[in-house]
A and B are shown apart, each in its own frame.
Chain A
């Protein structure tokens, strides 16, 4: 009798628990404007602990890597010296291009775009499962972070704010299978869509937005600025491989992201992309506005950094192939280079992300 009762009680309890969990999943699987207060409270409460653990792990990983790499560093040092000398020469050429670019922008009558306002943040945690590519940063609503804001690093686009808590936020990486960002091929100016990949190899997918668009290996992809959130010209990555569809009609590119997500410690949230907010969207740049004497596809001064196309005077944001060293703007802290031309940068909060500077 008592055994039957226990069995029945067990069944009822299991049924109730399963029903409650399914209801919870059903409610929270929709796109919610805001997390519940319990979620916000729990996540924020964990930020200091996660921050300490992340810092410790990063420190250990860095030291281990240093010992491993000592031998390699010597050879690399020699190579870098040669590279510096080459880059100095290249730099003077670039300066020429930059000046030429400015003149062209005046000619094209692009409005001078004010620089992005960045908020520095520390990565305190990553997704606990392998199904999602997200990370948690120590900046939240109290720092002015809002859902949808783009997140970048000194190398390129990291992702987009997915959820905001008072003192922390969840960032959906561009690698996540649910992510889709409007992109543009730097070389051909063609528009593409950059999506996350379902594999866990750290690559994205590039899909051309039109049948005439040809993807080529080595092409650099930047944000197109045509979407709702991302400003134009932020590096997304490089096309590593192009695969054709079954009947040779459609092509798909494999994107190697500009950002090394495995070593991501600090990021910047674009809290204000002025041109984007002022005008709602960037002026469409078709890539056809080239002088007649400039053959399409050839290196166009100012093309490398896409904000040039939207009228930004400062050397544009992070470029995939360029050094991450900023050409303008203050560094938020030692060893932490903000994307060039994108200032002011607010200092990352130590540990749990205190107030803004």
Chain B
């Protein structure tokens, strides 16, 4: 159940990323909705599930692109894992920290993509990569976090509640 719902959320994010978000570009930059979902679920569910969400979302993106399959999965998986370690230290219903975490998480994801990509022949110029893409993307994505965080938080709580009820009925 959790797997299906989170998978569906990721799938919708990827599709919106490819179809709707290009229309919301500011100076050629669109937000990274998938990173936002990864950051949120990493904070809710810890490092292993954070990594799993990151890898799944990244793989969906990679599949659509066709080049460097697994690169987004690696970068988002690592970010999901690292942010997941903060699970117990972050109050999930706080507002500021998720925004800051979204900025840091997306920035880390973009930088990892640039660095790891370079090892596999992405050959993207470093400074334009950081200042024209990574930083603006992180900023734009973080700004959107308040719009989505409460919804994702509510969804996560509902999922946990449903699974508790199912367990209670079964045992």
Give residues in A with beta carbon < 8 Å to B.
10, 14, 17-18, 20-30, 35, 38-39, 42-43, 46, 49-50, 53-54, 57-58, 61, 124-132, 134, 136, 162-163, 170, 177-178, 198-202, 262
Contact = CB atoms under 8 A, between A and B. Distances in A.
Contacts, number: 139
A128 B71 CA distance: 13
Interface of B: 14-20, 22-23, 25, 27-30, 32, 34, 48, 51, 55, 61-74, 77, 81, 110, 113-114, 116-117, 120-125, 128-129, 132-133, 136-137
A14 B68 contact: no
Interface SS majority for chain B: helix
Residue of A17, A22, A28, A177 most packed against chain B (CB within 10 A)? A28
A21 B70 contact: yes
A21 B114 CA distance: 16
Contacts of B81: 14
A57 B23 contact: yes
Contacts of B123: 177-178
Nearest to B66: A163
B10 to A, nearest CB: 12
Contacts of B67: 28-29, 132, 162-163
A125 B121 contact: no
A270 B116 CA distance: 35
Nearest to B33: A128
A14 to B, nearest CB: 7
Contacts of B16: 53
B66 A131 contact: no
Given A29-B121, A50-B18, A50-B19, A162 B137 contact: no
Contacts of A24: 69-70, 73
